[in-house]
Chains A and B, each alone.
Chain A
């Protein structure tokens, strides 16, 4: 028997927001649907969103789910989490956050949270009129034929969830869980992804410090290096979204930064950004660094 948290069982027995949303009858309100899975897969989720077109805020979310207890609980959690968010904020929601909301899921059931995140993405893309991401994915090679999962999707999941074994990939998106013949291909994709990351690191020669000189950085050297990474690695990335970052202070391993522009006003992106900047600094300056937004 699975070890489900009380939260999972509570939302399975008493799910919130089940059902459909009536088609919008007022101008300026749009109702969209995102769907993932199928009856063959053993689970499927249809997510309905009601969005205010002026503010892009999600006014209501309802779900219909075919699946196990954790699929139903994940669907309920998702609808509770996204009401009140703008569609862009909702797009930043990760499957991890859905699982965390539930107090965790058994690893074999992580795919239920992934299904929630994918249905959300499908619904929002439909709202924005953007063709679904997996239409592009169809161009990439079909790895898992049993569950119809492509290379692009597997690689994305590996990266986003830091996966290192084929078994984990199966737990997250089912790939490899059928006839199991593609497990060795999934092993190869894992190697590809993480070797690629190693490559990226090596491709930044300017600021790649000598690993053995790392601990010997003086405070001034450290601050200079942090400043340099922020300038060359972080700022260009933020500028694309109309945001900016400024170094405020460095106290020991604590790097205090000020987030500006578009990203400064958005609570969910602040969290994402903090993590992203921290990762960059840990990777390129000192592994012990912690970022704080002030």
Chain B
């Protein structure tokens, strides 16, 4: 059975050109880029070229690129670095819908004496700039906001946020793991101080990432050791990963011109679902969204059941439902948006890539309606009167959270 992969916000396929570029660095060119001999030196040159390829995608200087192992490391070290650079300040601002790599890091920092403001989002997943402005104080060391949300694809107005943060003087970090390669970035004209990128979200392999650190921004490394990455990230370079990421960034930059094609397929999928399946809603802002992502709530049924039903046909997607995570709580992002429970548990994220074909989208549109209908026939809620459902939601609103 062929796989229809619509889970590209989780991870992506390694591009064939990327694989071809990295393979020699797993066999023939195994030297250490720090070595003095030519054999290692040629690897160092390749790393330098990859750094330039990454910088080009970000519109940055190559000296501002720090290679890391993943998005989580980028986010962790950016936050730690910012706090170390502002030793007298103990306040952090993030949003309620950040990725766990930021959210849980900040929760831990609260135990270490830091105060964290979690900016709320509205029903469409947007933050309120006035709330940000009101939250900034002289004690704020860092503002960390994601560029685009991994679950809904909602894009935040990063430069507007940056203006406000800069007026205050705090460090501004952006988790751009989902945005890189989907939205044009230009660090030269940006207000962002640090930005996290992850390789496997843009057709490079897992295990490689980048933290952009603006020239002049104070930085304290998390990994202490050798002089690699100009002392900002010790440890022998993951050379094959770096070469792969360089190649992937070059391809991503080329693809930015064609991203509207991906968006057209996304819209075809989204509209198709809304038109053929009753009781469905799009979660997140209809306009300020990544071109490849749609998050759809299928009312009255549960996400895991939908995913496993689609899995029978080789369709891969994700859900924010409680049952898929093992945490028993549905997605913190959708809850922060205040979505009703009838939508929350049945929300499915479809995320496309440049490899997605129209025929695949059409196949999903033919398979999905009977799948949803079958699960709704099993559900006690679908056949009930709206009144009963409202009663449940009301009872829930009355119970303390």
Residues in A lying within 8 Å of B, measured CB to CB: 9, 12-13, 15, 18-19, 35, 38-40, 42-46, 64-69, 71-72, 108, 145-148, 170, 174, 177-179
Q: Across the interface, do A39 and B342 meet the contact criterion of CB distance under 8 Å?
A: yes
Task: Pick from B304, B312, B345, B399: contact of A39, CB below 8 A.
Answer: B345
28 CB contacts below 8 A, A to B, read A9-B308, A12-B308, A19-B377, A38-B396, A39-B300, A39-B341, A39-B381, A39-B393, A40-B393, A42-B302, A42-B321, A42-B330, A43-B323, A44-B381, A45-B380, A64-B378, A64-B383, A65-B380, A66-B345, A66-B378, A67-B305, A67-B323, A68-B323, A69-B305, A69-B308, A145-B400, A146-B401, A179-B401
Q: Across the interface, do A65 and B378 meet the contact criterion of CB distance under 8 Å?
A: yes
Q: Across the interface, do B379 and A66 meet the contact criterion of CB distance under 8 Å?
A: yes
The contact string, 1 if C-beta is below 8 Å from chain A, for chain B 318-329, is 000111101111
Q: Across the interface, do A64 and B392 meet the contact criterion of CB distance under 8 Å?
A: no
Q: How far is the CB of B3 from chain A (nearest CB, A)?
A: 14
- In the assembled complex, the Cα of A18 lies from the Cα of B389 at a distance in Å of 21
Q: How far is the CB of A35 from chain B (nearest CB, A)?
A: 8
- In the assembled complex, the Cα of A67 lies from the Cα of B379 at a distance in Å of 8
Residues of chain A with a CB closer than 8 A to B345's CB: 39, 42, 66
Q: Restricting to B226-281, which residues have a CB under 8 Å from any CB of A?
A: none
Residues of chain B with a CB closer than 8 A to A64's CB: 378-380, 383
- Most B CB within 10 A of own CB, among A64, A67, A174: A67
| B202 contacts A by Cβ under 8 Å | no
- In the assembled complex, the Cα of A39 lies from the Cα of B343 at a distance in Å of 10
- Most A CB within 10 A of own CB, among B308, B309, B326, B380: B380
Q: Across the interface, do A40 and B379 meet the contact criterion of CB distance under 8 Å?
A: no
Q: How far is the CB of B398 from chain A (nearest CB, A)?
A: 11
| B301 contacts A by Cβ under 8 Å | yes
Q: Across the interface, do A72 and B305 meet the contact criterion of CB distance under 8 Å?
A: yes
Q: How far is the CB of B7 from chain A (nearest CB, A)?
A: 12
Task: Pick from A19, A68, A69, A148: contact of B399, CB below 8 A.
Answer: A148
Q: How far is the CB of A280 from chain B (nearest CB, A)?
A: 36
Q: Across the interface, do B329 and A67 meet the contact criterion of CB distance under 8 Å?
A: no
Sort A-B residue pairs by CB-CB distance and give the 5 closest, nearest first: A177-B328, A64-B380, A68-B323, A68-B304, A46-B380
Q: Across the interface, do A71 and B302 meet the contact criterion of CB distance under 8 Å?
A: yes
Q: Across the interface, do A18 and B377 meet the contact criterion of CB distance under 8 Å?
A: yes
Q: Across the interface, do A42 and B379 meet the contact criterion of CB distance under 8 Å?
A: no
- Chain A contact residues, majority secondary structure: mixed
- Most A CB within 10 A of own CB, among B328, B330, B381, B389: B328
Q: How large is the interface on B (under 10, 10 to 19, 20 to 34, 35 or more residues)?
A: 35 or more
Q: Across the interface, do A44 and B305 meet the contact criterion of CB distance under 8 Å?
A: no
Residues of chain A with a CB closer than 8 A to B309's CB: 13
Q: Across the interface, do A40 and B392 meet the contact criterion of CB distance under 8 Å?
A: yes
- In the assembled complex, the Cα of A19 lies from the Cα of B379 at a distance in Å of 9
Task: Pick from B302, B312, B327, B341: contact of A68, CB below 8 A.
Answer: B302
Q: Across the interface, do A18 and B378 meet the contact criterion of CB distance under 8 Å?
A: yes
Q: In the complex, given contacts A19-B377, A39-B341, A108-B326, what are 15 additional A-B residue pairs having Cβ atoms less than 8 angstroms apart?
A: A9-B308, A39-B345, A43-B302, A64-B379, A64-B383, A65-B378, A66-B300, A66-B302, A68-B303, A68-B305, A68-B308, A145-B400, A146-B401, A170-B328, A177-B327
Q: Across the interface, do A44 and B328 meet the contact criterion of CB distance under 8 Å?
A: no
Residues of chain A with a CB closer than 8 A to B380's CB: 35, 44-46, 64-66
Residues of chain A with a CB closer than 8 A to B395's CB: 38
Task: Pick from B301, B330, B383, B392: contact of A38, CB below 8 A.
Answer: B392
- In the assembled complex, the Cα of A59 lies from the Cα of B312 at a distance in Å of 34
The contact string, 1 if C-beta is below 8 Å from chain A, for chain B 279-306, is 0000000000000000000001111110
Q: Across the interface, do A68 and B321 meet the contact criterion of CB distance under 8 Å?
A: yes
Task: Pick from B301, B396, B399: contact of A66, CB below 8 A.
Answer: B301
The contact string, 1 if C-beta is below 8 Å from chain A, for chain B 59-80, is 0000000000000000000000
- Most B CB within 10 A of own CB, among A13, A44, A69, A147: A69
Q: Restricting to B352-401, which residues have a CB under 8 Å from any CB of A?
A: 377-381, 383, 389, 392-393, 395-396, 399-401
Residues of chain B with a CB closer than 8 A to A18's CB: 377-378
Residues of chain B with a CB closer than 8 A to A148's CB: 399
- In the assembled complex, the Cα of A35 lies from the Cα of B379 at a distance in Å of 13
- In the assembled complex, the Cα of A278 lies from the Cα of B399 at a distance in Å of 44
Residues of chain B with a CB closer than 8 A to A174's CB: 328
Q: Across the interface, do B392 and A65 meet the contact criterion of CB distance under 8 Å?
A: no
- In the assembled complex, the Cα of A147 lies from the Cα of B328 at a distance in Å of 10
Q: Across the interface, do B381 and A13 meet the contact criterion of CB distance under 8 Å?
A: no
Question: Nearest B residue to A176 by beta-carbon distance?
Answer: B328
- In the assembled complex, the Cα of A145 lies from the Cα of B303 at a distance in Å of 24
Q: How far is the CB of B337 from chain A (nearest CB, A)?
A: 16
Q: A39-B341, A42-B321 are in contact. Are A12 and B305 (CB under 8 A)?
A: yes
Q: How far is the CB of A174 from chain B (nearest CB, A)?
A: 5
Q: How far is the CB of B203 from chain A (nearest CB, A)?
A: 23
Residues of chain B with a CB closer than 8 A to A44's CB: 380-381
Q: How far is the CB of A99 from chain B (nearest CB, A)?
A: 16
Residues of chain B with a CB closer than 8 A to A147's CB: 328
Residues of chain B with a CB closer than 8 A to A170's CB: 328
Residues of chain A with a CB closer than 8 A to B328's CB: 42, 147, 170, 174, 177-178
Question: Nearest A residue to B340 by beta-carbon distance?
Answer: A39
Residues of chain B with a CB closer than 8 A to A71's CB: 302, 305, 323
Q: How far is the CB of B41 from chain A (nearest CB, A)?
A: 45
Q: Across the interface, do B329 and A15 meet the contact criterion of CB distance under 8 Å?
A: no
Question: Nearest B residue to A175 by beta-carbon distance?
Answer: B328
Q: Across the interface, do A39 and B389 meet the contact criterion of CB distance under 8 Å?
A: yes
- In the assembled complex, the Cα of A66 lies from the Cα of B377 at a distance in Å of 10
Q: How far is the CB of A148 from chain B (nearest CB, A)?
A: 7
Residues of chain A with a CB closer than 8 A to B392's CB: 38-40
Residues of chain B with a CB closer than 8 A to A108's CB: 326
Q: Across the interface, do B329 and A178 meet the contact criterion of CB distance under 8 Å?
A: yes
Q: Across the interface, do A67 and B308 meet the contact criterion of CB distance under 8 Å?
A: no
